[in-house]
Amino acid sequence: MWRQGRSRARLRAHAIDPALDPSSYPLFTILARHDSMPMSQLVAALELDKSTVTRQVDAVVRLGLVERHPDPDDARARVVSLTEVGRQRVDAVVASAVAEWRARLSKWDPDDIRTLTELLRRLETSSD
């Protein structure tokens, strides 16, 4: 299951841009849910070292998919957001992924889907 998830993330990253490093795909999934996000929040959301996130953001800025802006609340900080091109590509990939999941789950019994959802919620909220 994990291997298939990594494979899907790699395919989705390359659908956004063939030069996109698949390890940067989670950055796009987070930015897709926000108009913009301070770097500090992005680092926290990704649960990665600040230097790693900075390198990832630098790489996707060079691809023209993400941009940095001064943070209006803190002149020392930067806010990260998708460019228009980045937003269009991410939206297309997300729409395709949702359609894929819906097609796969449409063959399942609704009770099985409810059970899976409940078990995944329990797994997510269980303590370490």
Q: How far is CA 114 from the centre of its chain?
A: 25
Residue 128 scores a pLDDT above 70:
no
Show the tokens assigned to 102. Answer: 């819906």
Residue 65 scores a pLDDT above 80:
yes
Contact 89, 32 (CB under 8 A): no
Give the mean pLDDT of 51-63. 95
> What is the assigned CATH class of domain 2-125?
mainly alpha
Contact 69, 78 (CB under 8 A): yes
Mind listing the pLDDT tens digit for each residue in 98-123? 999 999 999 999 999 999 999 999 99
SS (H, E, C) 77-121: EEEEEECHHHHHHHHHHHHHHHHHHHHHHCCCCHHHHHHHHHHHH
Q: Domain map of the chain by residue range?
A: 2-125
Mind listing the pLDDT tens digit for each residue in 31-42? 999 989 999 999
